[in-house]
Amino acid sequence: MQFRYTLKNLCKCGSKVCNWRTCTKISTQNQSCIHNIHNCVMEPCIPLPLKDDVLTELTQKAKDWALLHGIGMRSSKDINKDTIQLAPFVLLPSTFSKKEFDKAKVAQVLMNEIIHKAAHSYNFLKQCLSGTVEVDPFTAELFRIYETVRREGLAQSLSLGLIRSDYMLDTINESCLKQVEINTIAAGFGWMGPISSKLHRYVLHELGIPDIENHIPRNNALRGLSEAINFAWKLYGSPNAVLLVIVEEQTYNLCDQRMLEFDVRELNNAIRVIRRTFRNIASNGKLKDKRLFIDEMEVAVAYYRTGYSPDDYKSYQAWDARMLIERSKAIKCPSIQYHLAGTKKVQQELNRKGVLESFLSNSEHIDRVRSLFTGLYSLDMNEEGDEIIKMAIDNPSKYVLKPQREGGGNNFYDKDVRIMLRKMETSEERNAYILMDLISPPAVLNYIIAPGSPPELCKVVGELGVFGATIGSDKEIFYNEEVGHLLRTKRFNIREGGVVAGFAALDSVFLV
C-alpha cells in the first residue's frame, strides 16, 4: 500500500506559500480566522471516512482493547476507586513527519543536559527568576525552599530528572518542529504513549493495512523511565529503602501512574513502592540523620506525580512536606532546582542569544537545539519588555501569553492576550508571564473516541512529547538517555492541551 504525505494550502490570500504573520494581502482582523483553519492539512494514514459498518465494529473493538490494556482514567464526575473509564483517544495514528520526529528524538539528550546544567546553576536560576518571585507567590515559595536547602547544604547531591519536551509542527516555519514547553515535574504518560502505539497497530491490522512497522515506531518510554528510577534507587545504596510516589489527594490519571509503579517492581522486585500525599508526609514523615522516613520506612527515591500547581498546595502543611523531602538524603525526582529549571521563564531565557553557549560547547549541538526553539519574549519591566508588549497588543492573534503554570487551561490567546497585557502593562505582575509565538500546526482528519460519545470525525492537531532521563550532580552527569515518546491530539479549534485536563486525546505517530 502506498502512503502519501501532502500539505494542502488553505490560506485565503491565494498564495502557494503564505506566512500569515507577514502576509500583506489579508486584513489584521482575519489573521485569527486564518490560523484557526490551519494553513496546511496532512492526509490521514488511510482514506477517510470509513464505511459506517466498518467504523461501528472497529470503534467497539478499539474501545474494548483500550479498556482491557489499561488505557483508562478515573472519572472526575463519578469518583469510584473500583472503576475506571476509557481515556479519550483517536481511532487511527496521525501522520507525522519522520524527519522532524527523528530531529526531536536526537535532540533530547541535549535538552536533558541543558536542563540539568541550568538546574545546577544557582546564579542562572536566580537571574532568570528574580522578577518572577516578586510577583508570583508560587514560584517565590519554590525558590524560598531552594535557597533554604542550598544555604543549609544539600543533603543529596544527586538529582533524578524524568523530563518531557513537548513540540508541535509549525506550518509558518515550513512544518518544522518547534518546542512548546519542557516539563521537569510529574511528566506523565510514560505508559499511555507506548500503549497508544500498540492500540494503533492493532487497529491498522484489523483494517488489513500491511507493512506498518516502518510507520509506527517502537516506543519503550515506560521501561526507559523505570530503568532510570531503578538506577537512582541503586545509587542510594540502601536495599530496604522504598520508592515514594507523591500523589494527589484524588488521582484521576491512575493507569499511567500505576503502570509505571508496576513496571519498576517488575524490573526490580527488591524495590517496594509506596504512594503518599503531602498530607500523609507532613503527618507521618520525619528525618533521621537527614534520611527520610515515612511510616518508619526509609525513602531512597521521592518521585513527584503532583506538586506542579499551586492547587496542589492547599495548606502550609503541603509546603512543610515539600521542605521535609527537599532537606532529606532521598534522591528527588525532581529536586527543587530541577523543578525551577522547568519554569516558563527559564525556557524563555534559554532562548536568548548566547545563553545556550553557557551550557553546551559544541556549536553543532547548539544549532540543533536552537532550531527547535520558537520565538519567546520577556515581559520584564524595561524598554525591551515595553516594546514586546506593544508588539503583542497590536497583533494579539500571533502570540500566546503564558504564566508560570502547568497542567492545561492557563494560557491566554487572541483578544485575551491584548486584554491581559493592557491590564498589567504598567504593573510588576507582567514579570510572572512570558510571551511565545503562536505555533500553527498542520491538521489531519481523525476520529475522536471518547467515553459515552459516538466517534467524531474532525480535524485534529498533535503535540509530540519526547521523554528523557538524567541522573547526576552539579559536577557530572552519568546517566543521560532519550527513552520514548507520546502524541496527544486535540480538535484543531481547541487552544489548550492536556488529556487529564479534558482538552486532548491519546494518539500515536504514523511516520511519513
Report the relative pairing of strands 297-304 and 242-246 from DSSP bridges: parallel
Report the relative pairing of strands 477-491 and 433-437 from DSSP bridges: unpaired
Asked if 487 and 177 count as a contact pair (C-beta separation under 8 A), the reply is no
Residue 31 labeled ligand binder: no
Residue 244 labeled ligand binder: no
What are the CB-based long-range contacts (under 8 Å, 24+) for 281-285? 281/246, 281/321, 281/324, 281/325, 282/317, 282/318, 282/320, 282/321, 282/324, 285/321, 285/324, 285/325
For residues 423 and 337, give the distance between their C-alpha atoms in angstroms, rounded to a whole number: 32
**Is the preceding omega at residue 334 within 30 degrees of 0, hence cis?**
yes
Look at the chain and count its residues. 512
Q: List helix spans (H) across 306-343.
A: 316-326, 336-341
Residue 237 labeled ligand binder: no
Residue 320 labeled ligand binder: no
Residue 279 labeled ligand binder: no
Residue (of 501, 411, 509) closest to 464 by Cα position: 509
Residue 164 labeled ligand binder: yes
Residue 285 labeled ligand binder: no
> For residue 382, which phi and psi values (nearest 5 degrees)?
-155, 180
Residue 490 labeled ligand binder: yes
Asked if 497 and 168 count as a contact pair (C-beta separation under 8 A), the reply is no
Residue 418 labeled ligand binder: no
Q: List helix spans (H) across 182-335.
A: 192-206, 221-236, 254-267, 278-284, 316-326
Residue 181 labeled ligand binder: yes
Residue 408 labeled ligand binder: yes
Residue 396 labeled ligand binder: no
Q: How far is CA 152 from the centre of its chain?
A: 32
For residues 45 and 512, give the distance between their C-alpha atoms in angstroms, rounded to a whole number: 9
Residue (of 350, 344, 442, 438) closest to 391 by Cα position: 438
For residues 462 and 157, give the distance between their C-alpha atoms in angstroms, rounded to a whole number: 38
- Conformational region of residue 408, where left means phi above 0, alpha means psi within -120 to 50, and beta covers everything else: left
- Interhelix angle 98-119/363-370, rounded to 10 degrees, is 110
Exposed, middle or buried: residue 157 (CB in 10 Å: 0-12, 13-18, 19+)?
Answer: middle
Residue 394 labeled ligand binder: no
Residue 170 labeled ligand binder: no
Residue 409 labeled ligand binder: yes
Asked if 381 and 388 count as a contact pair (C-beta separation under 8 A), the reply is no
Residue 348 labeled ligand binder: no
**Is the preceding omega at residue 217 within 30 degrees of 0, hence cis?**
no
Cell of 72: 483508562
DSSP-derived letter for residue 462 is E
Residue 404 labeled ligand binder: yes
Half-sphere exposure of 397 (CA within 13 A, CB side): 13
Asked if 109 and 467 count as a contact pair (C-beta separation under 8 A), the reply is no
Residue 353 labeled ligand binder: no
Residue ranges of the binding site for substrate: 164, 257, 488
The annotated binding site for ATP is made up of 181, 344, 402-411, 413, 436-439, 463, 490, 496
Bind-site residues for Mg(2+): 181, 183, 406
Binding residues: 164, 181, 183, 257, 344, 402-411, 413, 436-439, 463, 488, 490, 496
